[in-house]
Amino acid sequence: MKKRALFTIPIILLLIAVIVTSFFLINIKPSTGKLSNAQKLAEYTKPAVVRILDYAVVGWQFNDYNPDVEAVFNQLGYQTVIGGSGSGAVISSNGYVVTNAHVVEVGKMEDAEVANAAFEQLVATMADYFQEDYNVAYDYLVAWTQYTGIEKVTKVILPGGEKLDGEIKSYGAPINEGKDVAVLKIESKSLPTLTLGDSDDIQNQDNIWVSGYPAAADSDLLSPDSSLVSSMNAGQISATEKKTDQGSPVIQINAAATHGNSGGPVINDKGQIIGLLTFRGDTVNGQEVQGFNFAVPVNTVKEFVNQAGAKNTKSETDQLYRGGLNLYWGGYYKHALEKFEAVQRIYPNHSEIKEYISNSVKRQDSSKFLWSDYSTIIYIVDGVAGLLIIILLIFTFAVKTKPAAAVAGGVSISSDSTPPPAAPTPVQPENVIPDLNNDGKVDIQDILLALQQQQKQNQKDDDK
Last residue of a domain, one of 258, 289, 308: 308
We report the CATH number of the domain holding residue 190 as 2.40.10.120
Pair 103, 67 in one domain: yes
218-274 pLDDT per residue, tens: 666 667 777 778 889 999 999 988 888 888 899 999 998 877 889 999 999 999 999
- Percent of the chain clearing pLDDT 70 (strictly above): 78
Domain carrying residue 303: 39-308
Distance CA 183, CA 309 (A): 10
Pair 213, 358 in one domain: no
Pair 208, 162 in one domain: yes
pLDDT band for position 415 (cuts 50, 70, 90):
very low
Q: Strand 145-157 and strand 49-62: pairing?
A: antiparallel
- φ, ψ dihedrals at 424, nearest 5°: -70, 155
The answer to whether position 22 is within a domain reads yes
The answer to whether position 327 is within a domain reads yes
Pair 18, 80 in one domain: no
Pair 176, 246 in one domain: yes
Average pLDDT over residues 333-348: 95
The answer to whether position 163 is within a domain reads yes
Q: Strand 96-99 and strand 49-62: pairing?
A: unpaired
The answer to whether position 375 is within a domain reads no
Q: Name the domain count of the chain.
A: 4
Tell me the pLDDT of the chain averaged across its residues.
84
Q: Is the pLDDT confidence value at 425 over 90?
A: no
Last residue of a domain, one of 265, 287, 308: 308
The answer to whether position 244 is within a domain reads yes
Pair 134, 199 in one domain: yes
Average pLDDT over residues 115-120: 96
Last residue of a domain, one of 290, 308, 326: 308
Pair 217, 346 in one domain: no
Pair 247, 185 in one domain: yes
Q: Which residues contact 257 (CB under 8 A, 6 or more apart)?
A: 210, 212, 214, 233, 264, 277, 280, 290, 293
The answer to whether position 374 is within a domain reads no
The answer to whether position 211 is within a domain reads yes
Pair 223, 175 in one domain: yes
Pair 362, 246 in one domain: no
Q: Is the pLDDT confidence value at 411 over 50?
A: no
Q: Would you say 60 and 145 are in contact if contact means Cβ atoms under 8 Å apart?
A: yes
Q: For the chain, report the end-to-end CA distance as a whole number of angstroms.
A: 70
The answer to whether position 457 is within a domain reads yes
Pair 361, 391 in one domain: no
Average pLDDT over residues 369-373: 66
Pair 86, 127 in one domain: yes
